[in-house]
Each structure stands twice: as C-alpha cells, then as structure tokens.
Chains A and B, each alone.
Chain A
C-alpha cells in the first residue's frame, strides 16, 4: 500500500515463532486464513510453504463449514515468514520493545498518536501506530505453583505500555490461555496408535499454493485414560486454574485445559493428537493436553497415556495470563476511539488464535495506511467476510473471554465459505490497494471461467425422458425439464459425470469444478441469503453520525442510551447488533438521523418480513452461544 512501515519487535529471530500449536486453519479459522490470503495477506502463503500435514476438518459436513487446516514445520514457518518480510518493500524491522506511546492533542483537542518510545529510550515519530501485543502485555506464565512475568516461555513481558493505556483510560482486563507440554518423539511408542495421514488432495490455505509441496508426515491419535483422570483430579489444587477461577480471569471456553476437562467431565477420557513439530525435529506437540499443573505431575499424567509410557518431556505445558483492552473501545477500522491514529489488533483485543490475530492485523494495517492518504475506511461487514463478523462482534459486543472464530457466528454461512473467499474479497482489497493486480487478474479469470461453464451447463436443458435415457441418476420426479446445472445440484452426481454428455466441460480445473459443484448444490439457499444480504447491506450503508448525543434522545430507553453512548455504533446495522436495542428504537434512530425524504424512502424499504428479520439474526446466534453452558449435556450424552 506504499506506506513506510517499521516493525518493532523484541527479537527479529522470533518473528513467525508459533507460541502454541504449530498449525494454521481449522473450523472457522480456515475461513479467516483464506480471506486474509484473498486480500493479499501472507499468512496462507507462508503456511502452504511450511505445511507438512493437511486435513480438512468437517469434511463430511458440507463445503460451507469445511475447515482447511495445515500443520506447520515450526522452523520452516518461522524462516519462510522472516524471508518474506525481508523481501517486503517499505518494511524495516527494529529489535526493541515499545514502552510508551507519544500522544498529543490535535487542533480539536482530540488525543492523537505522534510516536512511540522504545525500551532503549529512543523516540520514534510516526502518525500511525498499530499495537499488537499478543500475550506479552502484562504477561505472566504459570506452571503449577510457580509463576513468572513473561509473554511466552523464554520471552519477556511488556509492562510499560499497560501504564500508558491505563493512563488514557483504556479499560484493561485479563485473559488467559494455555499450551501443552512438548514431547521427545524418539521416546514415543507409536506401534499401537491410530495413524492419521495427511489428506491426499489437500485443500490449501492459500489460493496460490507452492507447486512443490513439502514432504508430508503422519500424525497419531491416542487418548487419556482413567489413570490420567485420577492424577489430574488429585492435583487440581496445584493448578493455577484454581487461582484464576477465584480471580475471575477467563480462559477460552473452547480450547479447554486438561484440568477443566477433568472437572467438567470426570468420567470421560480425552483424545490426544500427537503432531510432529517439523521435518527435522523430534519434538512432538500433544494436541489436547493443554495444562499448567506442576511439571512433575505433567510427566506423571503423560505416562498414563498409551504410547507415552516412557516419554520424556522437552518442555512443560503452562498457562499464560495477559492484559487486553475492551474492544468496544475500537472503531470497525480497529482505530481506537480514544486516540486517533492508534490501532489495536490481535490478542490485545481479546481474541485467541493466530488466524484471528492476523485477520485483525490486515484490517488495522490497511486502514492505518489508507487513513494517511485520507482515503475511505476499509471495513468488511458481516455479509462480506468472517473477518467482518469477527471485528463486528468485537467492537460492538466486546468479549469477556478469549474470542475465537466459529462458523456458527456467521448468519450467512452458506455464502461466506472458505472456498470462495477470493471471489468475495479480492476485488475490494485491490481497490483498497492491498491486493495486487496479479491477484485481481487471477480472480477475474476464475470468475469468467465459472460464468462460461455455468452457462454451458444451464444451456443443456432437456426433458426428464432424456435424462432417464442417459441413466446418470434416478429421477425423483417427472415433469419439468432439467438443466445440467440443476442435475448437478439436485442429484448425487459429480461434475465429471457430466463430461460425457458435455465434452466442453473437459479440462476444467479443480478449483472451478469445486465452485460449480458447491454453488449448484446450495443454489436455493444462496439465493435466499443473497436477498437477506442485500437487506443487511442496506442497514450497513446507513451511517450513524459519531457525534449523536444519545443521552438527549428521549425515544431511547435508559439502557439503550447507555449502550449506544458507550458503543457509538457506526451504522444502523451495528447498532442493531448491540444487545437490548429494540427494532423500534432503531427505526426511530434511523428517522432521527435522516432527512425527511431519505427517511421516508428508507422506511418503505424496511417493511417486508424478511428485512428487519436480519436485525434478529445475530442476536439469535448470541442466544445460541449463550446456551453453550448446556454443551455439558451433549458431551455427557456421548460418553
């Protein structure tokens, strides 16, 4: 985007170090990576260069919720990332820590960033700062009864910035997360363990994967045992979890520690994936064993797990707590409301996961660069991308626990898929200056090809007797004529089955075939969602002035006044997603902010049943998520 950028980090050598699981993607997260890739981000590209195992999660559950996931060679990922950064134009890297921010009042009395002050007391002047503190801000790691200030095992925490943020009244909270011990693979007995091979035809994380993939490794699956449970239960009091629970430091509800698993489901055993961390290392990541029990207890537990009877630990698991800022302090551009020119991204905003962090990073970066040129903000909405859902949730609803992406958070899951991220976003990102012309050309030629193929298929229209003669499938009803497109969508056949009758379809590339197969199958649902999206977009286009004095609006309830004043939503759509704001108030708000003519026009368009239904959608999902406590039921049912 042409902006001169300085990356300040403690150690250049730790750029691209994966603090936790050496894997990228997964359910919901795979969507994010693909969206980042579609916009010109590098995460997917580096991931594909470094992957040594691929698996699509939810492969049996329909393409819209496929979660492409790749396991990384930790070293390759780090090296590839650093190499790519070195080659990046306009990017300089400085080894240091940022201890303080320089903030001054602008002409209108608004706090504005003017630079940063580093640990070595150097002042660096800059009009824009993107803060990505990860787990380092006020970070403390815990193993059993021991704890120490650190952002990650072996790396120092950052404390000076907390003071600055507090000084500018950013509401800070604490969150925690954990990581499992690491194992020496040479001491694992794989003999009796179930194997998990890499997918033979992997779904990549990038739309343009490298032509020569790495060698693929095999993972193994084992389980904890009743013995493991006993040891964990006997040592619960020695886990920092007890203290966290008392202090109310929330952990992710989703990626739960062994201690929590045992507490909630004492009668169950738990699956453990043994994932090698690289091609040239013996270190194995035991996915599913996140724990912060004392080191000796961890080892004791490991020895009760089949295959790990004689294992040696190269490093114990631990828990890390860190500071985050209430993300409702942010605009949808991720610029802070309190300080102009200051952007936050990643765990600092209460999220968990590499992918969630990267998704925010690219948005904050694009906006920081665009705002320098006084360009329009670059905001993705809920109908455009999972990234839009993520940021919209954060800045409007905030989060009380580490926020992770799920497909169920999206109202438009059928349309916002991992496989079509490029078709959704590349053009937009190109206009914003983020995606290269090369990316744009790629997606344009893809679109053209999809268009061409689908026209051929829709042009092949024949009566049922014709299709019966072909004998490709058993017709469910006689009557209306059927196109090749309909046939592919409605009947259990593949694209390839149509080639004998439509030879023009021969030589279609796999990614085009995928799009055709998915879109023909979901056609009805996509059409319905497209309509809903059109309505939703209209809401999103209705901007709310940032200077509304909500407290003066008598048509709002007290609760609404408070929530709107605090949230300062940027659009009607965003306001609608704040819990407790009634549709009626939204409409009144809408009328209040609009001139009479536009107002009338808008009101007319608000009248059909499906329309305001969209207000409901996100709230419904929230409710569903709030029911998550009942998840205890279904897991128990299973056991």
Chain B
C-alpha cells in the first residue's frame, strides 16, 4: 500500500513540533515553496467508475483510532459488503457495527461507520467512513477487504480533495487552505490556513472581481449602448474613482510585508559573520539540537544550513552561513558568495561578532546597518577594552543599541534577553499592518494581484486619454487575474502541484 513513501509532503507532515528541516542551500535558490515553483505534474485521468478508498487518519503507526474513507458510487457496496447489512445505516449518524471481510467472512473489527450520501459529503460523492481500532493489522486487513470489492481502488494522493474541488465543494483557495491546514505546524499557520479554508480569505478576491465586473459593465455599456441610448463617457468616468479605490485597496494588501507568505513558509533569519565567531553554535542553540557542525577551525560551514523552529507560534527558518572572509579556496568562496546572497534575502539579519576580535572581522562591518541585529558572542571571555571598541564601531555603522546583544553560546549568558529580543522582532515583522490575517498566502496570489494592479493602472492611463476601448481591455485582463486566484481558470497548472501536496486520505 502506497502510504508514506509515495507521499511528497510526508516530510513536512511529520515534522514534529520543533524543527527540523535541513536543506542544502542550493535548494534555497529555488522559490521557497514547491507550490510556488511551476513543477509540472500530470495526473492520470480519473477513471470512469472508480470508487476510491484510503486511510484518512494519516499514520500507519499504531493509534487508538484509524479512519478509512471511501468515496464514489460504489461506497454503498463497500458499506453493505463489510457490514453484512442489507440496508444502509442512517445517514450522517455514527453507527456501531461489526465489520467482516468479504474475502473470507472473517470478522475484522468492531467499529463505527458514518454514511454520507452525496452531494452532502466532503467530495460531493457518496462517502463512507470506517472508524476502526488503529492497529496495523486491522487497518491492513480492512484495506485489503475494500480492495477486493469490484470497482474500488486505492486513492491517489490528494484525490479526495481533487474530487471535492471538481464537484465544486471547494474553490482553489479553499483547497490551498486545506492543504496549508493539514501542514500547519504553528498556531499562526493554523489560524491563517483555517481562515482560507473556510473561504474567508477568498471572499475578498471574489468581492473585488465582482466589483470589477460591475465597473466593466459600465464601461462596456458606453461602448455598446453609448450612441443609441445616450450613455456618455461620464458613465465610464464614473468608475474611475471607484477603481482608484480598489487599486488602493489592492496596493494596501500587497504591501503587507509578505506576512501571509511568511506565516505559511516561515520567516527567514540569516546568521552572518566572520569565520569562527560562533554562528554554528548559535544556530544549534536556537534549534536545541546539533544541526551545524561546530569546530574551532575557521571555515567549517561552507553551505547554508537551515533549521525551522516554531518561534513564539510563528515558523522561523534560521539559516547558518559560511563565515565571510577573503579566501582562496574555491568551495569556501562559493559558500561565502551564497552567504552574501542570503544576507539580502533574509527577513531578519543576525550578524555575529567575536566580542574580543577587533581585527579579522573587518569585512563583516560592511554588512552592518540600522536594520541588522548585532550579536556579540563569547562574552564569557570578554576583554572589556576590546569589546568597548567593537561596540563603538558597531554603533558607528548605525546599528541601533536595542539591536545589539551580548551572549555566550558556551555559558548561555545573555541568551534570555537575546531570545526575547528576537521574538519581539519576529512578532513585529508579522505586524506590519493592522489587519488580522493577510490575504496573500502564496507567491501565486501575489503575482496575479500584481498583474491585476498593473492592468488597473493601465486602465487609468487609457481613461485619461479617453481611450475607452483599451481601458475596457485592461479591465478585462484585471478581472481575469482575479479570477485565476480562486481557480476560475488555468486551474490545472497549479492543481497538479497542490493536490500532490496532500497525503492519501485527504
């Protein structure tokens, strides 16, 4: 049975409460989320008669309860065959019953079944759920029993959701929301995903789209009825301020500091510094676990090492980078250039300095600016005079005093203040606007919204030149962009990627 191994999101799903996601940095050069990357996944056509089944409760490890879900026209036969009943149980009510194998008549388990006749079900088709005891053998034998029923086959990843989408039980944003909900590791992610899954996030896009359609109707009316029915340009001009308002609104949501994407994908905190100042020790402290190899030899970290942490309810990706210095070593040089690139891609930059080192760290000072957090490590061996000099140099580069922390990775001195400070920064970075949650949770949404805004700006230009025809063309494009967000169009391109993100049973 194709359970864990085939499931592409297995790794993310099983990510335990903290950490861990270590990736090589070349992966980081790709878009941050695989959904954001145009991976081409082609699904086989849904077969004509397939009723699908699979374990819905996710893990094949022992558990108290396991749920197996069946969806399709033959779900009915599955109920009758496994329960030996003549009639279906009462719909949407949990029914306690014995389950038997149709292969040899042997009793499989005593459990509950819930019968959801379509269209009032998750997929919109007839669905039955078997709530079983979660032992491996119970699950395996029940799945085998279902497989023996003609017309039933094992569900492919994401197939239940795909059918729900197809039967218009969910739109694309809701599907994405569900995917995020299943993969949510932190409180903020759960909140945001739930909101999207429930359709609240999508409402805004639909509302905008509807508004634009109304405005388009006004503009089109001038074109098609203007001469005959005396609908003058002023009718089209009447929508100009309304579209202006919409543009402001879209802009406002676009300028959300990428909060939604950060909640979903994690905020990126990069750790930088000269070699051997303790960057790797720091990331290990933050991750509570050895992810980076720590040695006293300078230049140990040659790649970007990442660790994902649930930080005050927010997902944070710490990235440890190669020490920045002059080097002849080709591999080290590559590491350094990646570190520099990462510096600019990070949401928060931590520059680590050796509190006693006044010499070698020269190059790192170039990176200091008012936005950067400076971390002075090794205060257990602090030389007061040297550290005062370093402190002065840091301030000269514009680093704010409240963003300078003195710590010791060895003795943990200063760590509490440091963590509190970082937590504060993380929280602030999610509070760029006053809205409760962000509308934009994926790069895909941002792209569409940005092109929508562009079209609206062109619309204004065309209107100012009184070219009502091209103005209407721009409005049509803008509407298409919004439509694509909730999946009214070109769904399949994204669908393949999204659906493959689901584990079997969802």
A interface list, Cβ under 8 A from B: 26-28, 57-58, 60-62, 64-65, 67, 254, 271, 406-408, 411, 413-414, 525, 552-555, 557-558, 582-585, 587-588, 591-592, 599-600, 603-604, 606-613, 615-617, 619-620, 623-625, 627-628, 630-631, 633-635, 637-638
B interface list, Cβ under 8 A from A: 38, 40, 42, 44-50, 72-73, 119, 124, 162, 165-168, 213-214, 216-218, 220-232, 234-235, 238, 466-470, 472-473, 476, 479-480, 483-484, 487-493, 495
Residue contact A27 to B231, C-beta cutoff 8 Å: no
Residues in A neighbouring B468, C-beta threshold 8 A: 61-62
Which B residue's beta carbon lies closest to that of A63?
A: B469
Count how many pairs of residues, one from A and one from B, have CB atoms less than 8 Å apart in the complex: 160
Residue contact A638 to B234, C-beta cutoff 8 Å: yes
A4 CB to nearest B CB, Å: 41
Report 22 cross-chain contacts, Cβ distance below 8 Å, ordered by A residue: A57-B227, A61-B226, A62-B468, A65-B223, A408-B472, A525-B470, A554-B48, A554-B49, A557-B168, A558-B119, A582-B166, A584-B491, A584-B495, A585-B166, A587-B492, A588-B166, A612-B490, A616-B489, A617-B480, A624-B217, A631-B217, A638-B230
The CA of A604 and the CA of B492, in the complex, are separated in Å by: 11
Identify which of A413, A414, A627 contacts B213 (C-beta below 8 A): A627
Identify which of A28, A603, A630 contacts B42 (C-beta below 8 A): A603
Identify which of B42, B73, B166, B220 contacts A408 (C-beta below 8 A): B220
Residue contact A554 to B489, C-beta cutoff 8 Å: no
Residue contact A634 to B495, C-beta cutoff 8 Å: no
Residue contact B480 to A591, C-beta cutoff 8 Å: no
Residue contact A554 to B46, C-beta cutoff 8 Å: yes
Q: In the complex, which of the residues A414, A558, A627 has the most CB atoms of chain B within 10 Å of its own CB atom?
A: A627
The CA of A291 and the CA of B76, in the complex, are separated in Å by: 61
Q: 7 tightest CB-CB pairs across the interface, nearest first?
A: A62-B469, A591-B45, A612-B490, A616-B489, A408-B220, A555-B46, A627-B217
Residues in A neighbouring B220, C-beta threshold 8 A: 406, 408, 624
Residue contact A554 to B42, C-beta cutoff 8 Å: no
Identify which of B165, B214, B473 contacts A584 (C-beta below 8 A): B165
Residue contact B166 to A555, C-beta cutoff 8 Å: yes
Residues in B neighbouring A633, C-beta threshold 8 A: 218
Residues in A neighbouring B238, C-beta threshold 8 A: 634, 637
B76 CB to nearest A CB, Å: 14
B359 CB to nearest A CB, Å: 48
Residue contact B216 to A624, C-beta cutoff 8 Å: yes
Residues in B neighbouring A588, C-beta threshold 8 A: 45-46, 166
The CA of A607 and the CA of B495, in the complex, are separated in Å by: 10
Given contact pairs A58-B227, A612-B489, A604 touches B217 in the complex (Cβ within 8 A): no
Identify which of A61, A603, A631 contacts B221 (C-beta below 8 A): A631
The CA of A65 and the CA of B225, in the complex, are separated in Å by: 11
Residue contact B492 to A606, C-beta cutoff 8 Å: yes
Identify which of A582, A585, A616, A625 contacts B483 (C-beta below 8 A): A616
Residues in A neighbouring B40, C-beta threshold 8 A: 604, 607
A259 CB to nearest B CB, Å: 16
Residue contact B166 to A635, C-beta cutoff 8 Å: no
Given contact pairs A64-B469, A525-B470, A592-B45, A638 touches B491 in the complex (Cβ within 8 A): no
* Main secondary structure on A side of the interface with B: helix
Given contact pairs A67-B227, A408-B224, A591-B45, A620 touches B217 in the complex (Cβ within 8 A): no
Which B residue's beta carbon lies closest to that of A26?
A: B228
Which B residue's beta carbon lies closest to that of A223?
A: B230
Which B residue's beta carbon lies closest to that of A406?
A: B224
Given contact pairs A583-B490, A616-B488, A617-B480, A637 touches B235 in the complex (Cβ within 8 A): yes
Residues in A neighbouring B466, C-beta threshold 8 A: 60
Identify which of A613, A619, A623, A628 contacts B484 (C-beta below 8 A): A613
Residue contact B229 to A635, C-beta cutoff 8 Å: yes
Residue contact A62 to B470, C-beta cutoff 8 Å: yes
Residues in A neighbouring B492, C-beta threshold 8 A: 583-584, 587, 603, 606-607, 612
Residue contact A624 to B213, C-beta cutoff 8 Å: yes
Residue contact A584 to B490, C-beta cutoff 8 Å: no
The CA of A62 and the CA of B224, in the complex, are separated in Å by: 12
Residues in B neighbouring A627, C-beta threshold 8 A: 213-214, 217
Which B residue's beta carbon lies closest to that of A615?
A: B489
The CA of A402 and the CA of B168, in the complex, are separated in Å by: 32
The CA of A413 and the CA of B473, in the complex, are separated in Å by: 9
7 additional contacts, CB 8 Å, given A408-B472, A612-B489, A634-B238? A57-B227, A552-B48, A554-B49, A557-B166, A584-B162, A592-B48, A620-B483
Which B residue's beta carbon lies closest to that of A62?
A: B469
Which B residue's beta carbon lies closest to that of A58?
A: B227
A223 CB to nearest B CB, Å: 10
B192 CB to nearest A CB, Å: 25
B308 CB to nearest A CB, Å: 30
The CA of A72 and the CA of B223, in the complex, are separated in Å by: 24
Residues in B neighbouring A603, C-beta threshold 8 A: 42, 492
Residues in A neighbouring B479, C-beta threshold 8 A: 620
A541 CB to nearest B CB, Å: 19
Which A residue's beta carbon lies closest to that of B475?
A: A624
Q: In the complex, which of the residues A26, A60, A553, A583 has the most CB atoms of chain B within 10 Å of its own CB atom?
A: A583
B334 CB to nearest A CB, Å: 34
Residue contact B221 to A634, C-beta cutoff 8 Å: yes
Identify which of A61, A582, A616 contacts B469 (C-beta below 8 A): A61
Which B residue's beta carbon lies closest to that of A590?
A: B45
Residues in B neighbouring A613, C-beta threshold 8 A: 480, 484, 489-490
Given contact pairs A65-B469, A620-B479, A607 touches B493 in the complex (Cβ within 8 A): yes
B482 CB to nearest A CB, Å: 10
Residues in A neighbouring B467, C-beta threshold 8 A: 62
The CA of A120 and the CA of B323, in the complex, are separated in Å by: 102
Q: In the complex, which of the residues A61, A615, A623, A627 has the most CB atoms of chain B within 10 Å of its own CB atom?
A: A61
The CA of A637 and the CA of B227, in the complex, are separated in Å by: 17
Residues in B neighbouring A623, C-beta threshold 8 A: 213
Residues in B neighbouring A583, C-beta threshold 8 A: 487-492
Given contact pairs A58-B226, A607-B493, A635-B229, A525 touches B217 in the complex (Cβ within 8 A): no
Residues in B neighbouring A630, C-beta threshold 8 A: 214, 217
The CA of A28 and the CA of B469, in the complex, are separated in Å by: 14
The CA of A67 and the CA of B228, in the complex, are separated in Å by: 11
Residues in A neighbouring B162, C-beta threshold 8 A: 584
The CA of A442 and the CA of B11, in the complex, are separated in Å by: 67
Identify which of A616, A625, A635 contacts B480 (C-beta below 8 A): A616
Which A residue's beta carbon lies closest to that of B448?
A: A609
Residue contact A525 to B223, C-beta cutoff 8 Å: no
The CA of A29 and the CA of B463, in the complex, are separated in Å by: 26
A53 CB to nearest B CB, Å: 15
A403 CB to nearest B CB, Å: 14
B80 CB to nearest A CB, Å: 19
Q: In the complex, which of the residues B168, B217, B495 has the most CB atoms of chain A within 10 Å of its own CB atom?
A: B217
A163 CB to nearest B CB, Å: 38
Given contact pairs A631-B217, A637-B235, A28 touches B491 in the complex (Cβ within 8 A): no
B427 CB to nearest A CB, Å: 35
Which B residue's beta carbon lies closest to that of A254?
A: B225
Q: In the complex, which of the residues A62, A584, A591, A606 has the most CB atoms of chain B within 10 Å of its own CB atom?
A: A584
The CA of A254 and the CA of B47, in the complex, are separated in Å by: 46
Residues in B neighbouring A61, C-beta threshold 8 A: 222-223, 226, 468-469
Residues in A neighbouring B473, C-beta threshold 8 A: 413-414, 525
Identify which of B72, B228, B491, B495 contacts A27 (C-beta below 8 A): B228
Residues in A neighbouring B230, C-beta threshold 8 A: 271, 638
Which A residue's beta carbon lies closest to that of B48?
A: A554
B454 CB to nearest A CB, Å: 13
Residues in B neighbouring A406, C-beta threshold 8 A: 220, 224
Identify which of B44, B47, B231, B488 contacts A635 (C-beta below 8 A): B231
Given contact pairs A525-B470, A583-B489, A554 touches B50 in the complex (Cβ within 8 A): yes
A57 CB to nearest B CB, Å: 4
Residues in B neighbouring A555, C-beta threshold 8 A: 45-46, 48, 166
Residues in A neighbouring B225, C-beta threshold 8 A: 27, 254, 631
A551 CB to nearest B CB, Å: 11
